[in-house]
Amino acid sequence: MSPGGAVSGRVVDGLRGLPIAGARFRVTGASSANHGETISDDHGRFRIAGLPLMALLMDVEAEGFVGRRALRVEPPARDFEVTLAAGRVVRGRVFAKDQIPMNDATVRVGKRETRTDPSGFYEVSGLAPTNHQLVVEAEGYMTAQSKVVLAGSRTSAEVDVVLVTGGTASGLVLDPTGQPVAGAEVKAFHQWGRSYRAETGDRRLTSRTDDQGRFEINGLSTANWSRYTLRAQVNGRAESWSDVFQVSEKEPRADSLTLVIGPGGTLEGLVLDPDGQPIEGADVSLHQEGMSARRDRNPSRQSKTGDDGRFRFEHVGEGKWQVAAKAKGFIPGRKSGLEVRGDSRREDLLVELTAGKRLEGQIRDRNGLAVVGANVRVSSQRNRVSAKSDVEGRYVVNSTGDAPYDLYVSAKGFAGKSLRNETPVDGRIDVTLDRGGSVTGLVVAGPDDSPVTEFQVQLIKKVGRRSHRQRNEAFRNAEGRFEVDAEDGDYDLIVRATGHRANTITGLHIESDQPSEPLEVHLELSGALEGWFRSVLGEPISGAEVYLRSLDGGTENSFERKTRTENDGYWFVDQLGEGHYEVCIFRRGKAPIQTRSWVSVEGGRIREVVFDPVQPATLAFDLQLPPWPEEIKDRRRRRQGASVLIESLDGHPLELVRERIDGRQLRRPHSRR
C-alpha cells in the first residue's frame, strides 16, 4: 500500500497463468466497512485508490473460479499477483414427470444460484473441490436435494433431477368474528415429535392471504413420514397454528384449513433477585414450548426490563409458553408452562434469578508475570461463562454456578491448560500457564509447489509410548501458511487436504525459547476410486453402502473407509495411497430374500484393485447386478454372474471380473472404531 493509500496488482488463472478479466475486487476493514471496489481489465490489472493507511482485507472473486480469497493488505505496498483456481462445475437438466423439461426452476449449490432454461438445463460453476449440496426448487413441486462430490479427479458432475409434484394446503385466515384477514403470512412447518421446524430448502412454503383471507401453499412433501402444521401471523395480532395434517400421493390436497388470529393474550411480570428486588436491564425472551429457541428468533419476543424490573409481551398466541431471563451477575432462569387462551392476560409472572457465584483469579506464567488477554472459560453444572484477563492478568466472573468448576485457559504464545473439578479457595482459582512454542510452515502441492489454500493441521504429542492429540486446526488462506501454538514437547504433525494424501512429519521438537524453522509440507495428489452403481437396466442405485479395505497388511475384515452412492449411483473415495484395495458395495431393500437386518442379499465385491497415484488417472468402476430371480426362495441357494467392469476414465477396459454372490456371506462390514 503506497503512502497515497492505493493497492494494485494483477489477477491470473492459477493453472495456465493467463490474466483474468472482469474479476471483482473489494477492500474492507476490520468492521467490514467497504473501502473500495474495482474490476480487473482485459490484462488482469486492477487498482484501488483512496484507502486508509491501515491493515485491510481484499476479497477477490471471478466467474468460473473458486470463491473469494481474503488477502491481507498492509503497508508497505507491494504489487499483488493474485492467483485464482479454476472452479468445478455441476450441470444437468431438471425434468418433471414423463421427462418434461422444467423451465425456470431454481438450482442452488451453496451460495451460488441459477435458473433452468426452457430445455431444463442448468450449470453452476466456480465451485470448490469438496462436497456440495444441490437444491432444486420449482413452484408446485417438492424440493429435491442431492449430495454432489467434486473432489479428486472429478472436476465436473452431471446431475439430472426429476421433480415430483407436491401436495397442496389451502384454506382461510379469519379473525375471531369470522371476518377474513388480508395480508397474513402463512408458513408451513414440518412436525418432528412435539416440535416444529421449517425446512432450509423449502423457501417456497410460504403464502400470503388475499382480500378474502384465502391462501394456498404448494409443493408439500407427500412422503408417508411428512406431517405439517401451518402458522399464520400478521402485525398487531397473535400468531395462530393449525392442527397437524398430512398429504399423500393418494390424497395430495388438504383443503378447508382454517386459522383464526385474534388480538392474542398478554404476559407481563417481574424479574427479581433472591431478595425479591427488581433487576433492571435483564434480557427476557418468550418461546413457545416445543419450538426450538434457535428457530424462534422473533424480535417481538425479546424484551429488556426497566428500572422496575418489569417485562411485557403482547399479542401472544394460544398455547403453552416459556419466559427466559438472564442478567449480569445472575444465573439464567425461566418460567415454563404459561398457558395462553384467547385474549387472556397474566400480569403476575415472577422470574426469580439466583445470584451467581463470584470467581476470580490471576493468570501468570512460570516466572510470575501476568498473562494479558488470556481467554478463561468456566463451566459448572448450571451454566458456562467466560472472561478475559486484564493488564494485571486478573479475571473475574460473577454469574457462575456452584463449585466444582472446569476451567480452560488459553493465550497467544502459551500452551492451553485445562483444570477439572476445581474448588476455589476464598473464591479464587489462579492458573499458571507454560510458555508454548509454535510451529509455522507452508503447505504446497503439485510439480510447481503451488500453495494449498484449504487444509487441516493436527499436532499429536508423544509422551513415552503414548500419543495424545494436542491441537487440530483448519486453515484457509491464499498463501497456504499456518501457525499452531503448543506446549514444549515432541510431536508428530499431520497435514490433510481434500484430494491429497496426508503427510506426516515425525520427531518434531517444540521449545518456547527456541523458535523452530518454518516447515514446507509437500502434499502429493492422492489416488482415488470412483464409480457408478446401476442395475442391469441401467437405472442408478442410490443410497448403497460402499466400503473400502486395504489388502496390503490391513486387518482382516476391517473396513477403513465408507461412503454411499448418490442419486445418480455415483460414489467417490479419495486420499488413498498406492496399493491393493477391496471395494464392497451393499444394498438393502427390496430383494425377495431378506434375512436378518445385518445381512444384505444384494451386493458385490471387487477384488485385487490396483492403482498407482503417481499416474493421476482415477479408476472408474461400473458395477451392475442382475435382478434377483423371483423363483429363488431358499437363502442357501447361490447364483452366478454378477459382473464388474473395471475401466479407466477414457473408457479403456482393464479387467473383467466375475464374482460369486452368496447372501449368507454378504454381511454388513463393521468399521473399526
pLDDT digits (tens, 9 = 90+) for 340-399: 888 888 888 999 998 888 899 999 988 899 999 899 999 888 788 889 999 899 999 887
3 state SS of 294:
helix
- Cell, residue 325: 431471563
pLDDT tens, 609-663? 443 333 333 444 444 444 444 433 333 333 333 333 444 334 444 333 333 333 2
Give me the residues of the chain with pLDDT under 70, please: 1-4, 30-32, 55, 67-72, 74-78, 151-154, 192-204, 290-300, 464-471, 477-478, 499, 513, 526-540, 549-560, 567-568, 574-583, 587-673
| Distance separating the N- and C-terminal Cα atoms of the chain | 52
3 state SS of 446:
coil
Indicate left, alpha or beta for 148 from its phi (over 0: left) and psi (-120 to 50: alpha): beta
CA-to-CA distance for 552 and 318, rounded, in angstroms?
65
Amino acid making up residue 452: V
Which residues of the chain does CATH 2.60.40.10 include? 527-661
- Cell, residue 479: 498463501
Cα–Cα distances in Å, from 230 out to 258, 290, 298, 357?
10, 15, 17, 44
The pLDDT of residue 421 is 87
- Cell, residue 426: 476464598
3 state SS of 546:
strand
From the list 507, 530, 531, the residue with the least C-alpha distance to 519 is 507
H helix runs in 109-176, sequence order? none
Assigned CATH for 436-522: 2.60.40.1120
Residues 99, 26 contacting (CB under 8 angstroms): no
Cα–Cα distances in Å, from 203 out to 84, 134, 546?
33, 15, 33
Residues 38, 74 contacting (CB under 8 angstroms): no
Residues 287, 319 contacting (CB under 8 angstroms): no
Q: Which CATH class is domain 7-84?
A: mainly beta
- Cell, residue 178: 369470522
CA-to-CA distance for 437 and 428, rounded, in angstroms?
28
CA 643 to chain centre: 38
Q: Does domain 265-355 have CATH number 3.90.1820.10?
A: no
- Cell, residue 492: 508428530
Assigned CATH for 527-661: 2.60.40.10
Q: What per-residue string of b and e applies to 525-541 under the rule 16 or more CB within 10 Å gives b? A: bbbbbbbbbbeeeeebb
3 state SS of 301:
helix
The pLDDT of residue 203 is 55
The pLDDT of residue 634 is 36
CA-to-CA distance for 565 and 531, rounded, in angstroms?
9
3 state SS of 153:
coil
CA-to-CA distance for 508 and 491, rounded, in angstroms?
5
Q: Which CATH number fits domain 88-162: 2.60.40.1120, 3.10.450.750, 2.40.50.140, 1.10.3720.10?
A: 2.60.40.1120
Q: Which CATH class is domain 167-260?
A: mainly beta
CA-to-CA distance for 350 and 267, rounded, in angstroms?
11
Phi and psi of 189, rounded to 5°?
-125, 140
Which residues of the chain does CATH 2.60.40.1120 include? 7-84, 88-162, 167-260, 265-355, 357-432, 436-522
The pLDDT of residue 121 is 96
Residues 458, 471 contacting (CB under 8 angstroms): yes
Question: Is the peptide bond preceding residue 332 cis, with omega within 30 degrees of 0?
Answer: no
Assigned CATH for 357-432: 2.60.40.1120
